[in-house]
Structure 1
Amino acid sequence: MKIYEKIRPFLFLKRDKKSVHYKNLKDGDKIEIDGKEYVKVRLQLVDSLDMDSAKSIDNLETENSLLTEQNKELIANFEELNIKASLLEQLNHNLINHSQPNFSRIKTLENKVSEQKKRIDKLQLLSKRHKENILRLSIKHTDLKVKLDKEKRKVKELKEYNLQNEANQKLISKLESLNNKVILLEQLNKNLVSTDNKEACRLNKRDATITKCNKEINRLNKLTENYKFIEKENESLKIKLAKEKYKVTELLKQLQAHIKYEQVENTEESLY
């Protein structure tokens, strides 16, 4: 407070711009705090100052010296940073000039990527349709295979009937052979009637043979009637067999057409 009382009259002096004192204040070291200028005055400690005030002033001067050095360092760093900023700006400018020729290339590549994406989307849609067609054809192929198996079983049954018909034909040929033999025996019997009684015994035996043959003929005639009925059935079965064979042929043609279609689809997918 004693120092303040001594310097107070000098703080509120009217500034005369022509005075030597004002010129000294103007040209001397100043600092600006909150928009106000303060003159840096080097104070000298006198005996009138107390210990605490002197210590505070000394601390302030020390802090001021440190702040001044830090300010100089900050100015040097600021200049260095300005140089770096200028170099970075130049580098950025060089990079832009260097990358300028690549912009058109990047644009071209982006267009190609866009076209490829469109093509991929188109191929994915086409692949989805192909998968649906393959699934549909697979189901149809399964149905045709089931039908083909049924037709094969029918063909097998008809072949068995055909074999039975061949056996019937053999029996009929055997029956015809027996009929021819009976006719020959009857003719022989007529010829032997006019011969001697010595042949009577032989005639009796022949009659017995003829009777036996007649019985066999009657039995075979019944079989023949059955075989003829079976033969008619076989004829109808032959017609059915021919129809079934035709159906089987058509099914095989359809199956081959579907297989060729699947191969063509697979070839198209591989080309894409």
Structure 2
Amino acid sequence: MACVPARYLVFFQYFGTRYSGVMETKSDQALVGVQNYLERAAGKLRPSSPIKFHISSRTDTGVHALANAAHLDIHRAPGKPDFTGHQLAHGLNHHLRPEPIRILSAQRVPSTFHARFSARSRTYLYRLLLGTEHHSQVPVFERDLCWAPPGGPLDIPAMRTAAQFLLGTHDFSTFRSLSSEAAAQSPVRTLQELQIQPGPGLLAQHCPHRKFEFWEVKIKSRSFLYRQVRRIVGALVAVGQGRLSPGHIQELLELKDPRAFPPNAMAPPSGLFLKCVEYSQEDLNIPAEQQLQGLS
């Protein structure tokens, strides 16, 4: 009888500047995907068949993750016990060195669990740096980790007013990128949370000669359209700069046309972080009969 594989959920983080995105790419590219490194590391654990990472949330080149998620199935040779979550995380991290990718945790999950389709919500953070006149003034340790929009201070109250139009369930066609793949998706999404709050700077307190301000845009939904977060942040920043009014955001929503989105308004990838992916405990619990199979 064929051995039943053990399914695991892993949470992992990465510094996205080094990669073409999270998804697997051809190995001969100058920049490859985070998935390439994850699966290469998993292959060094000597499974009896190749391991495939099924990733929860796609991120683009330059986008970072504080905690992305994936599930994987591991076949071990007959007579070898399944990995514990700790063993799997430790082994993967050992083989991922020196890449800026880290497994945060690993745990057994039911064979029916799917990292993408079982997710109940995804939360993104976008980091904004105010107080610079030119990108060369961004602190060294913050480069590639934030966006410093030009033009001076932002009107945060106006941005918060504009954000209220985006909360709830809407057709977000105007806020999705034009692509054949994106066009096949339903444009209807529900934003559960959209907040603009002061945020911590990595080493801003050690730059006394300049007054920096960090702000974070936090956006939560069960799922997002391609580049939806970067378009939302870019439009909100345009409101903060006075280039758009809060009411323009409502008008863009009502147009339901990606071509109506203001040109060159999309936020760059460097300030975007996937903060977390959430699952219900019920989806993570392994049925008793599956636990017994794992012991047999």
TM-score tier, shorter chain, comes to under 0.3
Higher strand share: 2
Q: Which has the higher contact order (CA 8 A, sep 6+)?
A: 2
TM-score by length of 2: 0.15
| TM score, norm. by length of structure 1 | 0.16
